[in-house]
Amino acid sequence: MKLKILLGLAIVLSFAGGFYPALACSRLSGTEASDFAAATMVFHALVVEAKLDDYITPGQPAGRKDRVLVQARYELKTSIKGNPPKSGWVTSTTGVIGGCAIPLLAGQEYVFFVTAWPAEAPDTMKKRSLGTVNIFGSQMVAGNAPNVIKKLKGLSLP
C-alpha cells in the first residue's frame, strides 16, 4: 500500500523535471551551482498566495485521496536566470513523504529554482504553473535577498 503511494509520488516528481531524492529528503549529489545550471528559471519573488492543489496521486488505495502538491502565486522581484512572468504560479510538494518540501508561505520572499514542466507532463499540470520548485536550491530569503541574488548572479557568469 505504501509502495503504491511512493510510486505515485515518484511519477509526479518525475514529471517535475527530474527525480530528486525527495523521498529520503537528503541530497545524494549536486551543488547549488548544478541546481542553478539545471533550472529553467531562477528568480526572487514574493509569494502572495499558497494553496493545496487538487491533484490526486495515482495508485492510492480506495477511499484515500492524498494531495501532495502545493501551488504558490508569486510576484516577481528580480529575475536571475530565464524570463519568468511578472506574476504566476509555481508548484512544490506538501512534504507528506518524510517532510520533504520547501514550505511556501504567503507574505514571504523566496529565491526559486524552477524546472519547467517537460513536454510529456499532463496538460493539466502545465496549465497550473510554470513548473516545479527544486527543494534543494530554492530558499526563503527574507532580508538576505540582496546577498543571495549577488551570489547566484555570480553563478551565471561564464
**So what's the pLDDT on residue 103?**
82
What is the set of domains in the chain, with CATH numbers?
A: 2-155 (2.40.50.120)
CA 107 – CA 142 distance, rounded (Å): 10
The pLDDT of residue 141 is 87
pLDDT at residue 43, rounded to an integer:
94
Answer positive or negative: Cα dihedral of 149, 157, 72, 15. Answer: negative
pTM of the model: 0.74
Cα Rg of the chain (Å, integer): 15
Question: What local confidence, expressed as pLDDT, does residue 157 receive?
Answer: 61
Q: Give the helix/strand (H/E) hosting 148.
A: helix 145-155
Predicted local distance difference test score (pLDDT) of residue 120: 85
Instruction: Please report how many Cα atoms fall inside a 13 Å half-sphere around the Cα of residue 62, on the Cβ side.
Output: 0
Q: What is the DSSP string of 48-82?
A: EEEEE--PBPTTPPTT---B-EEEEEEEEEEEEES
In the prediction, which pLDDT does 28 show? 58
**pLDDT means over runs of 10, the chain (158 residues):** 37 38 53 87 94 75 72 94 94 73 88 88 83 81 85 77
pLDDT at 23: 39
